[in-house]
C-alpha cells in the first residue's frame, strides 16, 4: 500500500515431508540454514515497473533483512527466460526464531508462464520432448510483449486529463490502507473525487500526491484513532453518519477542507447526505460552517 502497488500476494510454508526429501536429496549437513525456501511468498503485480516498487518497499522495511536479490530480467540478446525477481530475506518470527523467506515478485503473465513451465518442464511426470520444451520457452516472447504493452498502455492512459480522478483515487487508496484493510465502493470514490478535483489548483495537481501524503502523515495518530472509532471495522461502521470512513476519498476531503473549506464543502453538499457531510466536518476538527 505504501509503495502504491496493487498486487496479489500468496504465501506458503514448505511441508515437513518436502523439506526432508530435499535434505536427503541434497545431502545437507545443516538443513535449517541450507533449506532457504522453508517459507515462500509470491507477489504478482500488474505492470513490470511495479516489480521495482515492490523490491524497493521490501528493502526499505526495517523488519526485513534482505540477504540477496536474484534479478532474472537481464537476458542476453536472442535469449528468452523467466524474468521475475527473487528476494531472499530473513525475518524474526513471533516465537523468536529467525527464518529465511524467499519472496518472488513478478507480473501476471510471468506468473502464468511460471506455473505452466513448472508443471511441464521442472517437475513433469515424464520428460517433455524437445519440441514441447521449445514451445514452452517460445511463450516467453509473448509474455515479454504483453508486459511491455501493459506498461505502455497503462502509462498512456494515466497521463490523460480525464484519468485525474483515478490517479487521485489510487493515491487516496494507498493512504487509506495504512489505517484499515477493507474494500470500498470504487465507483462512489471516483464520483466524489471528480467533484473535489476543481478545488485543487491545476498547478498543484502534479505534486498533489506528496502534499496529500504529508497531510496524512502529519495527522496519522489522529486519523488512526478516527478510523478505529468510526472505520469499517468499528462498532459504528453500520451507522449512516460514519459511512464515509469506509471510503478512501475522505482523506482527500480532509486535506481539501483544511486548504479551501468553503469550496470543499460545496463540492460534496449535493452528493452525500447532510448528516454524513456534517459528521466529516465535525470530526475533521476544522472550524468550518456547513450551510
Q: How far, in Å, CA of 232 to CA of 245, rounded?
A: 7
Average the pLDDT over 50-70 and give the result: 92
Q: Are 191 and 247 in contact (CB under 8 A)?
A: no
State pLDDT tens for residues 22-57: 899 899 999 888 888 889 999 999 999 999 999 999
Torsion sign (Cα): 220, 221, 225, 226:
negative
pLDDT of 126 above 60 = no
Q: What is the pLDDT of residues 84-93, one digit of tens each?
A: 899 999 988 7
C-alpha cell at 241: 453518519
Mean pLDDT of 116-133: 68
pLDDT at 128: 65
Asked if the model's pLDDT at residue 120 lies above 70, the reply is no
The whole-angstrom separation of Cα 181 and Cα 287 is 30
Residues 6 or more apart in contact with residue 43 via CB below 8 angstroms? 7, 8, 9, 54, 103, 104, 105, 106
Amino acid at each position: 500500500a505504501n509503495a502504491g502497488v496493487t498486487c496479489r500476494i500468496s504465501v506458503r510454508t514448505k511441508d515437513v515431508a518436502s523439506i526432508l526429501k530435499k535434505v536427503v536429496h541434497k545431502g545437507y549437513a545443516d538443513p535449517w540454514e541450507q533449506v532457504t525456501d522453508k517459507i515462500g511468498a509470491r507477489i504478482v503485480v500488474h505492470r513490470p515497473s511495479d516489480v521495482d516498487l515492490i523490491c524497493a518497499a521490501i528493502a526499505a522495511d526495517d523488519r526485513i533483512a534482505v540477504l540477496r536479490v536474484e534479478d532474472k530480467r537481464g537476458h542476453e540478446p536472442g535469449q528468452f527466460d523467466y524474468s521475475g525477481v527473487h528476494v531472499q530475506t530473513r525475518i524474526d518470527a513471533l516465537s523468536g526464531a529467525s527464518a529465511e523467506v524467499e519472496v518472488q515478485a513478478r507480473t501476471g503473465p510471468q506468473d502464468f508462464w511460471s506455473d505452466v513451465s513448472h508443471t511441464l518442464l521442472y517437475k513433469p511426470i515424464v520428460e517433455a520432448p524437445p519440441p514441447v520444451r521449445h514451445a514452452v520457452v517460445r511463450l516467453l516472447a509473448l509474455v515479454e510483449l504483453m508486459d511491455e504493452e501493459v506498461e505502455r498502455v497503462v502509462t498512456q492512459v494515466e497521463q490523460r486529463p480525464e484519468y485525474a480522478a483515478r490517479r487521485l483515487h489510487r493515491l487516496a487508496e494507498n493512504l487509506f490502507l495504512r489505517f484499515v484493510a477493507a474494500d470500498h465502493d470504487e465507483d462512489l470514490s471516483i464520483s466524489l473525487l471528480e467533484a473535489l478535483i476543481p478545488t485543487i489548483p491545476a498547478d498543484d495537481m502534479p505534486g498533489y500526491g506528496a502534499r496529500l501524503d504529508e497531510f496524512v502523515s502529519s495527522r496519522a495518530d489522529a486519523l488512526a484513532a478516527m478510523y478505529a472509532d468510526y472505520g469499517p471495522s468499528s462498532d459504528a461502521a453500520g451507522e449512516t453518519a460514519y459511512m464515509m470512513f469506509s471510503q478512501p476519498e475522505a482523506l482527500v476531503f480532509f486535506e481539501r477542507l483544511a486548504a479551501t473549506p468553503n469550496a470543499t464543502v460545496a463540492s460534496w453538499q449535493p452528493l452525500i447526505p447532510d448528516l454524513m457531510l456534517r459528521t466529516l466536518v465535525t470530526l475533521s476538527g476544522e472550524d468550518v460552517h456547513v450551510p
